[in-house]
Amino acid sequence: MKKSASLTVLTSPDWTEYELLDSGGGAKLERFGAFRFVRPEPQAVWQKALLAKDWEDTHMVFRERGEDEPAGWETLRPIEARWKMRYKELAFWVQPTPFRHLGVFPEQASHWDWIDRQIRGSGRPVSVLSLFGYTGLATLAAAAAGASVTHVDASKKAMTWARENQILSGLSGRPIRWIVDDAMKFVKREIRRGARYDAFILDPPKFGRGPKGEVWKLEESLPALFESLRDLSASKPLFVILTVYAFRASALSLSNAIDGLARTWGGATEAGELAIIEKSAGRILSTAVFGRHSV
């Protein structure tokens, strides 16, 4: 009988400029720097711990309206168009987007710390491929640790944001390739070129489109991507991280996918949930599932 897999809950306790202040009733109250936000959170099925006046003392609320009125932000108090935040060595710009995100996913800080440890502890040059890299914080964590990184995202706007974060973090001299492209097309071209990478950082959306309208559907595209990544793996790979939001995938399914990629690598796979500890009542809010493998 195969041994049951153990699942891990990762939190990021080292934040000073971000807090999950409270949650409940399908929403979360957060602080990003000097500003407070209310955003929808389907996982928060419990009651709020703070009073209504605490939730009303906020700068912006993201409203999910009806079919005839699009979802969007409502501004309740004056706020800067964008502002700087920091996590340890990383500095980055934060601003509300039409998709209710603010350019940073605070729960992923535990991944940034892990990436740093893996690269610094390897004692060798490390080449990293960061796919669906968004505003670049995982990329910058890898670069700050000494890796050379290829960052791929389909959005020109996100790429510009990521490069601004590189400058803000004082990492302009680090070897990062910034590529606006469809992830699958880029991977296939790299295989034809004979490229090899020591590590992979993957943060794919549930659904997306490449620069030329290429369609990404997680449940259909991810297996093909992992099959291709085998051909991009160096002879002595170091790690792979996969994080998934807004999709009915379990941590066990991600673990199985990663095990298939890393079956000849040696090392170990762990999987579980990324979560944030709430300030008000100490509850743990799960935000995503992940799997990662290190050698």
Looking at the fold, whether 280 and 250 belong to one and the same domain comes out as: yes
Q: Tens of pLDDT along 77-88?
A: 999 999 999 999
In a domain, 8, yes or no: no
In a domain, 101, yes or no: no
Please, which residues bridge with residue 269 across strands? 293
In a domain, 67, yes or no: yes
Closest by alpha carbon to 28, among 56, 57, 48? 48
Q: Token match 């935040």: residue?
A: 85
Looking at the fold, whether 154 and 285 belong to one and the same domain comes out as: yes
In a domain, 9, yes or no: no
Domain boundary among 40, 68, 94: 94
Q: Tens of pLDDT along 133-152?
A: 999 999 999 999 999 999 99
Instruction: Tell me the CATH number at 46.
Output: 2.60.40.1180
Q: Hey, what are 244's tokens?
A: 């998934």
Looking at the fold, whether 146 and 279 belong to one and the same domain comes out as: yes
In a domain, 3, yes or no: no
Looking at the fold, whether 118 and 55 belong to one and the same domain comes out as: no
Domain housing 271: 106-294
Looking at the fold, whether 119 and 151 belong to one and the same domain comes out as: yes
Q: How many domains does the chain have?
A: 2
Looking at the fold, whether 186 and 74 belong to one and the same domain comes out as: no
Question: Which residues, in sequence order, are CB contacts of 157 under 8 Å at separation 6+?
Answer: none
Instruction: Tell me the CATH number at 214.
Output: 3.40.50.150
Looking at the fold, whether 140 and 242 belong to one and the same domain comes out as: yes
Looking at the fold, whether 156 and 272 belong to one and the same domain comes out as: yes
Give me the pLDDT at residue 247, please.
65
pTM: 0.93
In a domain, 1, yes or no: no
In a domain, 162, yes or no: yes
Q: Tens of pLDDT along 98-133?
A: 989 999 999 999 999 999 999 999 999 999 999 999
Give me the pLDDT at residue 1, please.
37
Domain boundary among 94, 121, 145: 94
Distances from the Cα of 290 to the Cαs of 7, 101, 123, 185, in angstroms?
10, 19, 26, 24
Domain boundary among 39, 62, 94: 94
Looking at the fold, whether 161 and 266 belong to one and the same domain comes out as: yes
Closest by alpha carbon to 42, among 205, 247, 206? 247
Cβ distance 50 to 29 under 8 Å? yes
Q: What SS3 string covers the chain?
A: CCCCCCEEEECCCCCCCEEEEEEECCEEEEEECCEEEEEECCCCCCCCCCCHHHHHCCCEEEECCCCCCCCEEEECCCCCCCEEEEECCEEEEECCCCCCCCCCCHHHHHHHHHHHHHHHHHCCCCEEEEECCCCCHHHHHHHHCCCEEEEEECCHHHHHHHHHHHHHCCCCCCCEEEEECCHHHHHHHHHHHCCCECEEEECCCCEEECCCCCEEEHHHHHHHHHHHHHHHECCCCCEEEEEECCCCCCHHHHHHHHHHHCCCCCCEEEEEEEEEECCCCCCEEEEEEEEEEEC
Give me the pLDDT at residue 155, please.
94
Give me the pLDDT at residue 4, please.
45
Looking at the fold, whether 78 and 115 belong to one and the same domain comes out as: no
Phi, psi of 73 (to 5 degrees): -85, 140
User: How many Å apart are CA 37 and CA 19, to the nearest integer?
Assistant: 11
Distances from the Cα of 23 to the Cαs of 134, 204, 253, in angstroms?
26, 26, 28
Looking at the fold, whether 120 and 75 belong to one and the same domain comes out as: no
Residue 117 CB neighbour total at 10 angstroms: 12
Give me the pLDDT at residue 5, please.
56
Phi, psi of 141 (to 5 degrees): -60, -40
Give me the pLDDT at residue 3, please.
44
In a domain, 20, yes or no: yes
Looking at the fold, whether 246 and 272 belong to one and the same domain comes out as: yes
Pick out the chain residues at pLDDT < 50: 1-4
